[in-house]
Amino acid sequence: MNRCALLVTHTGRRDIVEMARHVVHGLSDAGIEVRLLASEARDIGVEGVRTVQPDESAARGAEIALVLGGDGTFLRAAELARPAGAPLLGVNLGRVGFLAETEPDALDDTVRHIVRRQYTVEHRLTLDVSVMVDGTVTGRSWALNEASVEKSSREKMVEVTLAVDGRPLTAFGCDGVLCATPTGSTAYAFSSGGPIVWPAVEALLVVPISAHALFAKPLVTAPSSVIGLQVKPGGYDALLFCDGRRTIPVPAGARVEFRRGAPDVHIARIHPRPFSDRLVAKFQLPVQGFRDHNPPPSGPTRPDAAGSEPERGA
C-alpha cells in the first residue's frame, strides 16, 4: 500500500518554505507521497508533488499530517485532518507552539520518525457548537481549543444566562464566555483565568471573560455535559468564535450550546513525556525553590524531624 503524508506549511516566512522543501525531498526519497495544498505548493515550488484543495478530502488516505508553523497553522491543519482521522504532528515555528511536538532543529529526526512509523497517537477531545434562534439552528461549528461567545461591540457588554445540562446556573454581564477543551486549557482559557487541565482528563471548561458578577468563576464539567448560553433578548448581539478561525453571528435572544464533539482530533507524539515537563518547557516555569539554593544548616535536629515535612521546591 502506498504511503502518503499531508504537509501543511506557514509559507509567509522564507525559512519555513526552505524547511518545507527539505521535508518534501526527505519523505519523497523514502517512498512516501507528499501532498501539498495548492496555494502553498506555489510558494514552496517543488515539482512532482500532488496538490490538493483545503477541504475535507485533503487528508483522506494520508497516514499523517505534518505541520510546519505555529499553533495557528496547527489549528488550520486540524480542520483538514479531523474528517480523515489523520494524526497531526507539529514542528513549532511560532512562539509558544503548545500544540507542536518538535522544534526546527529536530526536523531531520522528525522525518526519520515518520518514515519508520515511530510515533504514538493521542486522542484529543473536541467541541461541537450550535447557535439556535427561536428553536431553529442557524449555525454549527467545532473547535479543538475553545469556542467563545463574545460581545460584538467594544463599548457594549453582552448579558448571558449560563445553564449546565438544561438547568440554569447563573446570569451576568460580561465581555464573553468561552468553553474550552483540556487541549485548549493552556490557550485563551488560561489567559482568561481558567485552570490548566491535563490532556488525559476528559472534561469541558467554562470560563467567563471579564464578568460583572460575584459568582463568575471558571467551571469544570463532565465531558457528557451540555453547556447552554442564552444571550439576553432585547440586549446586544454577540459573535461566536471557534478556535479564533470560524465566526458565527449570535443575535440577541439566541442560544448557544456546547457539547463534546465527534470525532476527536488525533495528535502524533514522537517524544512521549509527562505533560508537566511540557508545561515547564513551554511556559519556562521556575522549578527550583528557595530550598534548592539554601541547603539546611548542619547540626543536631530533633529526633522526630526527619521526613516530617515534604520538600516543596519542585
C-alpha cell at 26: 526527505
Q: Which residues pair with 102 in a beta bridge?
A: 91
CB contact burial 272-293 (16+ within 10 A = b; e otherwise): eeeeeeeeeeeeeeeeeeeeee
How many beta carbons lie within 10 A of that of residue 99, not counting itself? 27
Type of residue at 47: E
User: Percent helix, strand, coil in the chain (nearest 5)?
Assistant: 20, 35, 45
Whether 71 is catalytic = yes
Burial class (CB in 10 A: 0-12, 13-18, 19+), 298: exposed
Catalytic residue among 55, 71, 109, 277: 71
Q: Which among 92, 104, 101, 113 has a CA at the least distance from the CA of 26? A: 113
How many beta carbons lie within 10 A of that of residue 24, not counting itself? 22
C-alpha cell at 157: 457588554
Q: Just list the catalytic residues.
A: 71
